[in-house]
Chain A
Amino acid sequence: MHVIDREGLDALIRHLSAEGRTVLGPTVAGGAIALGEVGSARDLPEGWTDEQEGGAYRLRRREDRALFGYAVGPRSWKAWLHPAELRLWRARRTDRGFELGPDDAPVPRYAFLGVRPCELHAIRIQERVLAGGVHADPGYRARREAAFLVAVNCGEPGGTCFCASMGTGPAADDGYDLVLTEILDPRDPGGPTRFTVLAGSARGEEALGGVPAREASPGEARAARSVVEEAASRMGRSLDAAGLPELLADRLEHPRWEETAERCLACGNCTLVCPTCFCTSVDDTTELTGDAAERWRRWDSCFATDFSHIHGGSVRGSRASRYRQWLTHKLGTWHEQFGTSGCVGCGRCITWCPVGIDLTEEVAALRRSPGPAAGPDGAARPPTSGGDP
Chain B
Amino acid sequence: MSESPGAGPAVDGAPGPMRTRVYAVRRTRRETPDVLTLELEPGVDGEIEASAPGQFNMLYAFGVGEVPISVSGDPGGSGRLVHTIRAVGATTRALCDLRRGDPVGVRGPYGSSWPVTEAEGRDVLVVAGGIGLAPLRSAFARILARRDRYGRVSLLYGARSPRDVVFEEDLRRWRSRFDVEVEITVDHAVGPWRGHVGVVTTLLDYAPVEPDDCVAMLCGPEIMMRHVARDLGRRGVDDDRIHVSLERAMECGVGLCGHCQLGGELVCRDGPVFRWDRVEPLLGVPEL
* Chain A residue with the shortest CB-CB distance to B88: A311
CA of A284 to CA of B252 in the docked complex: distance in angstroms? Answer: 12
B13-21, B73-81, B147-155, B187-195 - the one binding chain A = B13-21
Q: Which residues of A contact B1 (CB under 8 A)?
A: 30, 32, 74-75, 272-273, 352
**A87 at interface (Cβ–Cβ under 8 A)?**
yes
Asked whether, in the complex, the Cβ of A98 is within 8 Å of the Cβ of B62, the reply is yes
Q: In the bound complex, what is the Cα–Cα distance between A139 and B251 (angstroms)? A: 18
Given A88-B13, A136-B16, A290:B63 Cβ within 8 A: yes
Of A36, A105, A138, A279, the residue contacting B257 (CB under 8 A) is A279
List residues of chain A with CB under 8 Å of any chain B CB: 24, 29-30, 32, 34-37, 74-75, 79-80, 83-89, 91, 93, 96-100, 103, 105, 107-108, 129-130, 133-139, 142, 249, 252-253, 272-273, 278-282, 284-286, 290, 293, 295, 297, 300, 302, 307-311, 314-318, 320-321, 325, 329, 332-333, 335-337, 352
Is B161 an interface residue, CB under 8 A from the partner? no
Closest chain B residue to A271, Cβ basis: B258
- Asked if B10 is at the interface of the complex by the 8 Å CB criterion, the answer is yes
Q: Is B145 an interface residue (CB 8 A)?
A: no
Contact A333 B2 (CB under 8 A): no
Q: List 29 A-B contacts (CB under 8 A).
A: A29-B3, A36-B6, A75-B5, A79-B6, A83-B13, A85-B10, A88-B19, A89-B15, A89-B18, A96-B43, A98-B105, A133-B256, A134-B254, A135-B255, A139-B14, A139-B16, A278-B258, A280-B251, A284-B63, A284-B66, A293-B62, A300-B258, A309-B249, A311-B89, A316-B287, A316-B288, A321-B286, A333-B264, A336-B264
* Interface pair A105/B13, CB less than 8 Å apart: yes
> Please, which residues of chain B bring their CB within 8 A of the CB of A281?
251, 257, 259
Instruction: Please state if B248 and A29 are interface contacts (CB–CB under 8 Å).
Output: no
Does B142 have its Cβ within 8 Å of any Cβ on chain A? Answer: no
A103 and B258 contacting across the interface, CB-CB below 8 Å: no
Which one of B11, B256, B259 lies within 8 Å of A137 (CB-CB)?
Answer: B256
Please list the 8 inter-chain residue pairs (A to B) with the smallest Cβ-Cβ separation, ordered nearest first: A97-B103, A286-B63, A30-B2, A336-B264, A279-B258, A321-B287, A105-B12, A139-B13
- B24 contacts chain A at the CB level, 8 A cutoff: yes
- Give the docked Cα–Cα distance between A249 and B15 (Å): 35
Whether B236 is near chain A, meaning CB under 8 Å from some CB there, is no
Question: Which residue of chain B lies nearest to A273 when distances are taken between CB atoms in the complex?
Answer: B1
Interface class of chain B by DSSP: loop
User: In the complex the two chains form, what is the Cα distance from A99 to B62 in whole Å?
Assistant: 10
Knowing A37-B6, A75-B5, A252-B285, say if A279 contacts B259 (CB, 8 Å).
yes
B5 and A134 within 8 A (CB): no
Q: Looking at the complex, which one of B2, B105, B286 makes contact with A29 (CB distance below 8 Å)?
A: B2
B3 and A32 contacting across the interface, CB-CB below 8 Å: yes
Please measure, in the bound complex, the distance between the C-alpha atom of A29 and the C-alpha atom of B66, giving whole angstroms: 40
**Least Cβ distance of A86 to chain B in Å?**
4
Smallest CB–CB gap between B261 and chain A, Å?
Answer: 7
A105 to B247, alpha carbons, bound, how many Å? 34
CA distance in complex: A249, B7 (Å): 39
CB proximity of A39 to chain B, nearest CB, Å = 13
Determine if B12 and A280 form an interchain contact, defined as CB atoms under 8 angstroms apart. no
Q: Please, how many angstroms separate the alpha-carbon atoms of A84 and B7 in the complex? A: 9
**Does the CB pair A280–B252 fall under 8 Å?**
yes
Contacts of B14 in A (CB 8 A): 103, 105, 107, 137-139, 142
Given A282-B66, A321-B288, A135 and B60 contact (CB-CB distance below 8 Å)? no
The answer to whether A91 and B13 touch (CB under 8 A), given A295-B18, A315-B248, A315-B249, is no
B residues in contact with A86, CB < 8 Å = 11-13
Structural contact, A286 and B62, CB atoms closer than 8 A: yes
Contact of B18 among A30, A98, A282, A325 (CB under 8 A): A282
* A30, B62: Cα distance in complex, Å: 42
| A83/B249 in contact, CB under 8 A | no
Residues of B within 8 A of A (CB): 1-3, 5-7, 10-20, 22, 24, 43-44, 60, 62-66, 88-89, 102-103, 105, 247-249, 251-252, 254-259, 261, 263-264, 266, 269, 285-288
Q: Which of B13, B20, B251 contacts A87 (CB 8 A)?
A: B13
Residues of B within 8 A of A24 (CB): 6
The answer to whether B18 and A297 have CB atoms under 8 Å apart is: yes
Contacts beyond the supplied A135-B255, A282-B251, A297-B13: 18 A-B pairs with Cβ under 8 Å: A29-B2, A30-B3, A35-B6, A80-B6, A84-B5, A89-B15, A97-B102, A133-B256, A278-B256, A293-B62, A293-B63, A295-B18, A295-B66, A310-B249, A318-B287, A320-B287, A325-B288, A336-B264
A332 to B263 Cα, complex, angstroms: 9
Contacts of A325 in B (CB 8 A): 261, 288
A30 to B1, CA, bound (A): 7
B10 adjacent to A87 (CB under 8 Å):
yes
Q: Which listed residue, B5, B18, B286, touches A79 by the CB 8 Å rule? A: B5
- Give the distance to chain B from A13, nearest Cβ to Cβ, in Å: 15
Partner of A36, one of B3, B12, B63: B3
- A309 to chain B: which residues have CB within 8 Å? 249
In angstroms, how far is the closest chain A Cβ from the Cβ of B40? 11
* Contacting residues, chain B, for A285 (C-beta < 8 A): 63
Asked whether B263 lies within 8 Å of A333 as measured between CB atoms, the reply is: yes
Known A-B contacts A284-B60, A333-B264, A337-B266; A308 and B16 likewise in contact (beta carbons under 8 Å): no
- Give A79's nearest chain B residue, CB to CB: B5
Across the interface, do A93 and B256 meet the contact criterion of CB distance under 8 Å? no
Centre residue among B6, B65, B103, B252 by max chain A CB count within 10 A? B6
**Which residues of the partner chain B approach A352 to less than 8 Å between Cβ atoms?**
1
Given A29-B2, A87-B11, A284-B60: A103 and B19 interface contact (C-beta under 8 Å)? yes
Q: Are A310 and B247 in contact (CB under 8 A)?
A: yes
Q: How far is the CA of A107 from the CA of B263 in the complex (A)?
A: 35
Q: Do the beta carbons of B20 and A310 come within 8 Å of each other?
A: no
